[in-house]
């Protein structure tokens, strides 16, 4: 079971620099650039602590995934590990749920992109902008994985450069007091307005569901495993750089912004970065930042199209979706899977037409719930893998997670706690109803699948029994 990943028919067109930037870009998305504004308004400066705590948990998840990836690197990894260690139904459920996560995340990114376009062109309806972006990214994903990699590389480069620039400018305002914000910028802004927890610890904890949405996509590096030129070298490097990325781009950037601009000036629906540059008063600064956050949204939607096509192919290969999804185009992309996924992302365009003011909140809550399931499957698979290694049933990975299964158990407890917060919050609770309906539909689909093709469950079940 260990060793090199199978070719699977894909082109190994993602080089080291692209995998590195995909990993970096995955940690910088619309959850930070847009959703952080609403969370700052709810939690004040304590949001910084929430991002730091969640960041530690994300690192635990990624190291667990890293150990599994170096044990057996395959495209569509989460589903394959769920099949191997938990059984065929969990592999089926995880693959479809990860597909759902990216479809609804794509809707969220399209919605955010349409909101950003309003900054320059208020007369253009949200649904029109969303539709245009959907079509352009769809065409790019059909061409080749190399084009996808290049788009992600340069989009991530723009995001990283801009965030570093924002941090440097913010530190300059704090240190030298220049710009319109110079007189009020101060580190004391972190506690001067009703304290570090201005709305209470409970309100701060409630933002964790939004914070976790901001971290969705960091696991995308696992989906790239089957198309990476050298996964044994590129994947560990990408995962091990995660802590400094979170410390710099999330904790660092938010800390600087909240020192420069007091937390009471931020509101839902406005990017805190755009707001900060507007307050600083740098000519065209807010417009430049708006372009950057637009790039971030489109980058994430591009990643969604990439991963959904691969997940549908994974399902087709395992007999859990129509076999037609297994076919690759002349450019070695799962064109049918991408096309079907984009068609479902089009629902986001409809939401932007029907309920433009609520579209973002609706889809982000569903994406977060689906993402939590995916992370839980990674962690549980890791715990079971470690048990098999310790019992001598499976070979050890060349990239073991520090702390073994202990950190995975901590992360599992944290994700269950966040799920409880979602259930407690009346506004986000609806996503659990959606997920319950989704689970019921998948369960019905599984029983129909088994009745038509019993080998789907029997074949995988036998392999699992041998492995365990």
Residue 387 counted as domain residue? yes
Cα of 97 vs its chain's centroid, Å = 13
pTM for this model (two decimals): 0.85
- For tokens 């939607």, what's the residue? 301
Nearest Cα neighbor of 47 from 60, 56, 38 is 38
Instruction: Grade residue 450 by pLDDT with cuts at 50, 70 and 90.
Output: confident
CA distance 295 to 187: 30
- 305 or 77, greater pLDDT: 305
Residue 69 counted as domain residue? yes
What integer pLDDT is reported at residue 11 of this predicted model? Answer: 52
Q: Determine the 3-state secondary structure of 194 from DSSP.
A: coil
What integer pLDDT is reported at residue 467 of this predicted model? Answer: 42
* Domain count along the chain: 1
Residue 276 exposed, middle or buried by CB count within 10 Å (0-12, 13-18, 19+): buried
Please state whether 281 falls in left (phi above 0), alpha (psi between -120 and 50) or beta: left
- 15 or 425, greater pLDDT: 425
Please report, for residues 101, 153, 204, 304, the alpha-carbon distance to residue 26 in angstroms, rounded to integers and kept in the order given.
14, 11, 24, 11
What integer pLDDT is reported at residue 5 of this predicted model? Answer: 38
Strands annotated E in 166-271 = none
The CATH number of whichever domain residue 408 belongs to comes to: 1.20.1740.10
Residue 8 counted as domain residue? no
54-58, 78-82, 181-185, 220-224: range with lowest mean pLDDT? 220-224
Residues 269-273, mean pLDDT to the nearest whole number: 78
14-28, 86-100, 438-452: range with lowest mean pLDDT? 14-28
Residue 126 counted as domain residue? yes
- 412 or 182, greater pLDDT: 412
CA distance 22 to 16: 10
Domain with 139, as residue range(s), is 16-467
- 162 or 226, greater pLDDT: 162
188-192, 226-230, 356-360, 418-422: range with lowest mean pLDDT? 226-230
Looking at residue 210, the DSSP 8-state letter turns out to be H
What integer pLDDT is reported at residue 431 of this predicted model? Answer: 86
% of residues, the chain, pLDDT over 70: 85
Residue 144 has pLDDT above 80, yes or no: no
Residues 387-413, mean pLDDT to the nearest whole number: 93
What integer pLDDT is reported at residue 249 of this predicted model? Answer: 83
Can you list the alpha helix ranges (DSSP code H) found in 45-144? 47-71, 77-86, 88-117, 126-143
What integer pLDDT is reported at residue 357 of this predicted model? Answer: 66
Residues 406-420, mean pLDDT to the nearest whole number: 96
Please report, for residues 4, 189, 280, 466, the alpha-carbon distance to residue 179 in angstroms, rounded to integers and kept in the order given.
55, 17, 6, 67
Instruction: Grade residue 393 by pLDDT with cuts at 50, 70 and 90.
Output: very high
Mean of the per-residue pLDDT values of the chain? 82
What integer pLDDT is reported at residue 455 of this predicted model? Answer: 79
Residue 464 has pLDDT above 80, yes or no: no
% of residues, the chain, pLDDT over 90: 26
Q: What are phi and psi of 218, to 5 degrees?
A: -65, -25
Nearest Cα neighbor of 70 from 12, 150, 4, 121 is 4
Residue 64 has pLDDT above 80, yes or no: yes
Residue 88 counted as domain residue? yes
Residue 167 counted as domain residue? yes
Residue 167 has pLDDT above 70, yes or no: yes
Residue 24 counted as domain residue? yes
Greatest mean pLDDT among 199-213, 333-347, 372-386, 420-434 = 372-386
CA distance 203 to 366: 21
Tell me the angle at which helices 359-390 and 208-215 cross, rounded to the nearest 10 degrees. Answer: 70
* β-pair partners for 228: 14
**CB proximity list for 365: less than 8 A, separation 6 or greater:** 209, 422, 427, 428, 430, 431
Residue 4 counted as domain residue? no
């Amino acid at each position: 079971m260990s060793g090199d990943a199978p070719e699977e028919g894909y082109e190994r067109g993602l080089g080291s620099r692209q995998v590195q930037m995909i990993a970096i870009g995955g940690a910088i998305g619309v959850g930070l650039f847009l959703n952080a504004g609403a969370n700052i308004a709810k939690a004040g400066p304590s949001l910084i602590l929430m991002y730091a705590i969640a960041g530690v948990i994300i690192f635990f998840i990624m190291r667990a995934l890293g150990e599994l990836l170096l044990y057996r690197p395959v495209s569509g990894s989460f589903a394959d590990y769920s099949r191997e260690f938990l059984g065929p139904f969990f592999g089926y459920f995880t693959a479809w749920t990860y597909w759902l996560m990216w479809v609804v995340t794509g809707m969220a990114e399209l919605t955010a992109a349409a909101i950003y376009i309003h900054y320059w062109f208020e007369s253009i309806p949200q649904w029109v902008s969303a539709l245009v972006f959907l079509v352009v990214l769809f065409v790019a994903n059909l061409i080749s994985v190399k084009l996808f990699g290049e788009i992600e590389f340069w989009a991530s480069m723009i995001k990283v450069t801009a965030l570093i620039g924002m941090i440097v400018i913010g530190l300059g305002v704090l240190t030298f007091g220049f710009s319109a914000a110079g007189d009020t910028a101060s580190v004391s802004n972190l506690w001067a307005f009703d304290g570090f927890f201005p709305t209470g610890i409970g309100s701060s904890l409630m933002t964790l569901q939004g914070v976790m949405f901001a971290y969705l996509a960091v696991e995308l590096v696992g989906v790239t495993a089957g198309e990476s030129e050298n996964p044994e070298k590129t994947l560990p490097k990408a995962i091990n750089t995660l802590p400094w990325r979170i410390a710099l781009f999330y904790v660092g950037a938010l800390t600087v912004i909240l020192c420069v601009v007091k937390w009471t000036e931020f509101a839902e629906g406005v990017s805190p970065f755009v707001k900060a540059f507007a307050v600083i008063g740098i000519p065209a600064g807010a417009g430049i930042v708006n372009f950057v956050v637009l790039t971030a949204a489109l980058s994430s939607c591009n990643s969604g199209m990439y991963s959904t096509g691969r997940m549908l192919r994974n399902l087709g290969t395992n007999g859990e979706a129509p076999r037609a999804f297994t076919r690759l185009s002349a450019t070695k992309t799962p064109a049918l899977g991408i096309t079907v996924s984009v068609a479902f992302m089009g629902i986001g365009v409809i939401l932007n037409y029907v309920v433009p003011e609520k579209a973002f909140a609706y889809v982000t809550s569903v994406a977060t719930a689906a993402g939590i399931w995916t992370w839980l499957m990674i962690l549980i698979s890791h715990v079971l893998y470690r048990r098999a290694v310790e019992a001598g049933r499976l070979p050890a990975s060349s990239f073991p997670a520090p702390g073994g299964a202990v950190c995975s158990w901590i992360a599992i407890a944290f994700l269950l706690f966040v799920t409880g917060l979602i259930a407690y919050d009346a506004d986000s609770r609806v996503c659990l109803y959606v997920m319950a309906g989704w689970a019921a539909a998948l369960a019905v689909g599984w029983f129909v699948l088994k009745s038509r093709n019993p080998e789907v469950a029997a074949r995988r079940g036998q392999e699992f029994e041998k492995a365990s």
